[in-house]
Chains A and B, each alone.
Chain A
Amino acid sequence: MIRIAQLSCGSEYSGIQKEIERAAETVGAKIIYPEVSLEDILNVEKTFGVSVSSGDLNLAMARAVRIVQNPDLADAVIVMTCFRCAEAAIIRSEIRKYIHEHSKIPVLSYSFTERTTAETLLTRMEALVTTVKYRGLLAREKQKGLTAGIDSGSTTTKAVVMRDNVVIGTGWVPTNEVLKSAEDALQAALKMAGVAKEDIAATGVTGYGRFLVGKHINARLIQEEITVNSKGAVFLADAQKGTATVIDIGGMDNKAISVQDGIPGGFTMGGICAGASGRFLELTAKRLGVDITELGKLALKGDYRNVAMNSYCIVFGTQSLVNSLALGCKPEDVAMAACHSVAEQVFEQQLQEVEVKEPVIMVGGTSLIEGLPKAMEELLHVLVTVPKNAQYIGAVGAALLVSGLLED
């Protein structure tokens, strides 16, 4: 049983404690609360570096100190505080950094509302457990044999066929009917690879539809997209050793993952506002009358500073773009403004929650919209790498990891 230490403020009063425990139970983990004395709490100014006026946050910091001093107490840590609490946001971030810097325990931070459910937490909790449970598998650097990977995403379904560390077939279709889309993507990848389905030794599945697709095709590996995508990203970017930061801006949510030697150390997964997702770029392309594949090239010719974008909401953001066009702004400036807006939101809301260390690898379909990695480079002041086959990152990660299971 994986022990996840919960360091939090407000979860029981928000009525979501049961949801947290249910999510942990679903992924085979147990929530624990490290014991501390009153003395430990009174001393957090000395031991942690600060004490605040909210008692429960001081308790969370005292628990963090206890875990660092006794790493055997927990296998993973989840730091949770109320959404919109400034005091808690500061301490949540500092606790995450403190544990990250002083221990090797994987840590996840999350801000909740009363609407947070076990389902919301499931993928995050599953990733946390995977990094603990399958550390050996995640350390795997090479794909062997003939395997396939399917990434059943919210917008598109991707599939790859790999043979001895090389991608030999790919398939990419829009996600309509989940099972049929998975079948179509796999068939396309098999056709390109020139192999029969029966020859595939094992298949790994990730993405939103992983449980349905995985069960249907009797997949050997069914895994959440955080660990799988980070594995696929460092594999394709040839950055399996040392640090890396993986940014995946998806159709429905975004992931920012801090990776050490190919294994996620900390991550965030955002999905509150569609204005920070690939959907916004789709809408922009549609409004500009260009194909989504042309939006990035158009953006590269533009300057976001020429367009007034003061809203993060997908509806009002689109309205800003429409108004800008009506005022005579150039389409290329509008395209770049949309890319900058998405990148800025991810930068402000998610990249503050992980340690950004080079190389920074952008993956997923949106990374192919050239304006987006460029906007991220400008915000981060570092070179952003977009590896070949970046859109197949989840499928590649799944095919790579499942090949490790064949040897076990």
Chain B
Amino acid sequence: MAKVIVYPPTSMILSDLVERMGHKALVVPEAVRRLVTASGIESPPLNMTPEEPKKGLRYAAVDVPSGVRGRMSLIGPIIEEAEAAIIVEDPGWLTGCAGCSRTNELVRLLIRTKGVPVLDLSYPTNDAEAKVFVSKIRTFLEGLK
């Protein structure tokens, strides 16, 4: 079983595919769940505090907007954990979205420079493309140990 990060990192469709193939999907909702169920923090809706953007300094400099650093405090540790990645280009917002394009760019860069196997895909626009899309993901995941 490999730990696979998906991009967009909020995509439930992609994480479902990864899990079905017996691997562990690394996704943001998991990190958010840890925050919102943490006791002793009262900062809805995500239970993020000003400490999170500071944790994000590990991935982005202090002159990077706080919203990017805050998002990176959730996504950065997942990237560090990843042993493989699936990146879907132009996924459309229904697939999942971090809300911030600068964060998306940084996430893609950090995944690609990490040196783990990466599957790059285009988002399917019809049924035929969707079948090829799923097939490529399956082949990629089967090849992971």
Contact = CB atoms under 8 A, between A and B. Distances in A.
A88 interface: yes
Given A55-B97, A83-B66, A114-B66, A13 B46 contact: yes
B67 A38 contact: no
A16 interface: yes
A82 B71 CA distance: 12
Q: Output the residue of A41, A83, A84 with the most chain B CB within 10 A.
A: A84
A22 to B, nearest CB: 10
B70 A17 contact: no
Nearest to A115: B50
B75 to A, nearest CB: 10
Given A9-B99, A15-B53, A87-B102, A82 B44 contact: no
B53 A114 contact: yes
Interface of B: 42-46, 48-54, 63-71, 74, 93-94, 97-102, 104
B67 A9 contact: yes
Contacts of B43: 15, 17-18
Contact of A13 (B51, B52, B64): B52
Contacts of B51: 15
Given A15-B70, A17-B43, A55-B93, A114 B63 contact: no
Given A12-B70, A13-B67, A55-B93, 20 more contacts: A10-B68, A11-B67, A12-B45, A13-B48, A13-B52, A13-B53, A13-B70, A13-B100, A54-B100, A55-B100, A56-B99, A81-B67, A82-B67, A84-B64, A85-B67, A85-B68, A113-B53, A114-B53, A114-B66, A114-B69
Contacts of A290: none
Contacts of B97: 55
A201 interface: no
Interface of A: 9-18, 38, 41-42, 52-56, 59, 81-85, 87-88, 112-115
Nearest to A59: B99
A56 B51 CA distance: 22
Nearest to A52: B101
A88 to B, nearest CB: 7
24 contacts: A9-B99, A10-B70, A10-B99, A10-B100, A12-B46, A13-B67, A13-B100, A14-B67, A14-B70, A16-B66, A17-B44, A18-B42, A54-B101, A55-B98, A55-B100, A55-B101, A56-B99, A59-B99, A81-B67, A83-B66, A87-B101, A113-B66, A114-B52, A114-B66
A38 B70 contact: no
A10 B42 contact: no
B38 to A, nearest CB: 13
A352 B21 CA distance: 54
A336 to B, nearest CB: 32
A242 B10 CA distance: 50
B35 to A, nearest CB: 10
Contact of A82 (B52, B68, B93, B94): B68
Contacts of B44: 17-18
Contacts of B42: 18
Contact of A84 (B45, B63, B71, B100): B63
Contacts of B45: 12, 17
A41 B63 contact: no
A112 to B, nearest CB: 7
Residue of B42, B69, B100 with most chain A CB atoms under a 10 A cut-off:
B100
A38 B94 CA distance: 9
Nearest to B64: A84
Contacts of A82: 65-68
B11 to A, nearest CB: 13
A192 B74 CA distance: 63
Contacts of B54: 114
A13 B102 contact: no
Nearest to A58: B93
Contact of A53 (B46, B63, B65, B101): B101
A157 B102 CA distance: 46
B93 A13 contact: no
A223 to B, nearest CB: 30
Given A52-B101, A87-B101, A12 B66 contact: no
Given A14-B53, A15-B70, A18-B43, A56 B100 contact: yes
B59 to A, nearest CB: 13
B99 A54 contact: yes
Cβ-closest 10 pairs across A and B = A10-B67, A13-B70, A82-B65, A56-B99, A53-B101, A14-B66, A114-B53, A114-B50, A82-B67, A54-B101
Contacts of B48: 12-15, 17
A172 to B, nearest CB: 39
Nearest to B94: A38
